[in-house]
Structure formats: structure tokens, C-alpha cells
Amino acid sequence: MKAIVQDAYGTADALRLADVEVPVPRAGEVLVKVRAASVHAGDVHMTTGLPLLGRPVMGMRGPRQRVRGTDMAGVVERVGAGVSAFRVGDAVFGVARGAFAEYAVASAELLAPKPATASFAAAAAVPTSGATALDALRDRVQPGSRVVVTGAGGGVGTFVVQLAKAAGGHVTGVCGPRNLERVLANGADAVIDRTRSDLPDGAADLLVELAGNRSIGTLRRALAPRGTLVVVGGESDSRWIGPERRALYAMLINPFVGQTLRGLLSLVSAESVRTLADLLAGGALRPVLDREFALAATARAVAHLMAGHARGKVVITVDAS
């Protein structure tokens, strides 16, 4: 089968199309014929091998998992022993090993039926970014809560805006000038052009920091006295810790301040996949797709995300033949 492989860390050019063996599902696993996959920040970290703190998990000298990609949607091709939730021919989405390929193996627990109303591309866009948005907002938004989302036009940000609105929050999206109208169309009540305005003092009951490199002090000033800050991502030149540096600092000082400061490292779980499937089917989650690339152009897709050009989710389509 055709797949995108990576043998050494580097730029997006380290990703290449190759012929590899079709994986075989083990007990509790499912082989999926991939119809679409999506790119997220974790794919960028896996490509570059940064931050270095993640190398024990990613692989010390090169990627431990040679075929790249995790988030995908497709059709069940084969089921392993003990799998009863899915049958051959079922349309599914979720997280797999080596999703940038014609076939990928996934734990049955990390798959859900693809809603009939969602395309394969839309469903593939959901798993990791959707789970991150769920975790950022979990039990933190009440009707009338003032929610501020930085990076509101990105892959995770578009989902955070939608879910915060669905929970009854008053949402302000912070983004660049080219995304202002798009963020409003996605459901935000108000927008802030990050190139022209700073975050207003005391404006947020919940501030979800997805982009930028604002100091924790600056972010705290934007919070209400008992507000909550969730640091998910951002920019950093630290090769060792990367954008997690601010998240770690927030958690360190949290016991000493009146506000609640949290860093977030989100993982897709069986529960989150099921919840996302329900939200996708019910229309509360509406993936905003930026661009679609063919499998052979996956390196360009990752480079597009690396460069900060994505306006929503970047999707890779796989030939259905």
C-alpha cells in the first residue's frame, strides 16, 4: 500500500510517499481503509522531533512509528479477534496508527461510527482537535460565562468556539485580521484583531490560550478575579520544553493565586471519541475545513500547518479506489 513514512526528524520534507506492507490488526483492533486523514499540532511535533522533552515517547533518534498520522476516517476492512462493535464495511472515524496511508490499524475503543451526515473529510478533522477542545472546556462553561479564545481561527480554536457557544457561553474570538469574519461566522459573539488590540483586562471568566506567546501575567490580567486560564498551545523557541513552558509555569504558580491556572495535555480517549461522534451527529460540532491535500502531497499539508497558514483543519484525502 501507499503510505507517508518518516525515517529521521526534520522539516516537512522528511515526509515521503513509499510502498509498505498493509498492517494486520491484532486482537481488539480494526483495519480501516482510509478515506481521509487530518493534520494537527502533534504531527508537527512528530515531524520535527521537538520539543526534545518528548523524544522518549516519540523516539530518541527518529520516529518510533515510521508511518505518520493519527486522525482518520474510513471504512472497516477487517476486524481482529474479540471485536464485536464493528463489521466489515462500517464507516468509522477516530485515531489510528499510521493514518497517512491507504490502510491503518486502530484500537476498536478509539473508533466511533461516522455519522451519515458527516463527510469522511469532516469526520477525519475531528478526533485530536475535537478532544482537545472538549478537555479545554470541560465543566468550565456555564450559561452567560464570558469565554475568550485565542487562536480562534485555528483547528482547535474553531471547535472551542462552537462548543463554548453550545454550552451557553458568550464567546470572544482572538485571531488575525484575515480570520475575523470567519470566526464570527463560526458562532463567536465578538472578535478581537490580535494585531490591533490587546486582551481587555478582567474580560474573561475562562480564557483558552491556543496561540501566541503572551506571558502568564498578561493572560492573568485578562481574567476575572476568579477566572480560569487554560494554556493549550502557543509559540516558543525552546527546543527542550517548547510551548509547554508556559503551561508548566501556570501550574506551578496556581496554588499561590486567586485565579485558576491550568496547563492542558490532551489525549484522545474512548469516551471523547463517543462524545465527539454524538456532537458531530447532532450538529453542535461543525468542522471548519481549510484545505484538502492528496496523500502524495502530505508534506505540503504539514508544511502549510507549520507555517501558520491554516484557517481551520487541514485534511488529507485518500483515493477511494
Q: Report d(CA 32, CA 105) in Å as an integer.
A: 6
CA distance 66 to 58: 10
Which residues, in sequence order, are bridge partners of residue 289?
A: 313
Q: Classify residue 189: in a domain, yes or no.
A: yes
- pLDDT bucket at 246, cuts 50 / 70 / 90: confident
Output the pLDDT for position 234.
65
Buried b (16+ CB within 10 A) or exposed e, 142-169: eeebbbbbbbbbbbbbbbbbbbbbbbeb
Average pLDDT over residues 99-108: 98
pLDDT digits (tens, 9 = 90+) for 293-319: 999 999 999 999 998 888 899 999 997
- Say yes or no: 53 and 153 in one domain: no
**pLDDT tens column, 51-79:** 777 778 878 888 889 999 999 999 999 99
Q: Report the C-alpha gap between 170 and 275 in whole angstroms.
A: 22
Into how many domains does the chain fold? 2
pLDDT tier, 235 (very low <50, low <70, confident <90, very high otherwise): low
Over 60: is that where the pLDDT of 227 sits?
A: yes
Range of the domain at 109: 2-126+287-317
Mean predicted lDDT score pLDDT of the chain: 93
Q: Which pLDDT score, from 0 to 100, does residue 240 have?
A: 65
CATH of residue 34's domain is: 3.90.180.10
Q: Are 19 and 117 contained in the same domain? A: yes
Nearest to 273 by CA among 265, 290, 263, 285: 285
Q: What stretches of 2-152 adopt beta strand conformation (E)?
A: 2-5, 16-19, 29-39, 71-79, 91-95, 103-107, 111-113, 146-150
Whole-prediction pTM value?
A: 0.93
In a domain, 275, yes or no: no
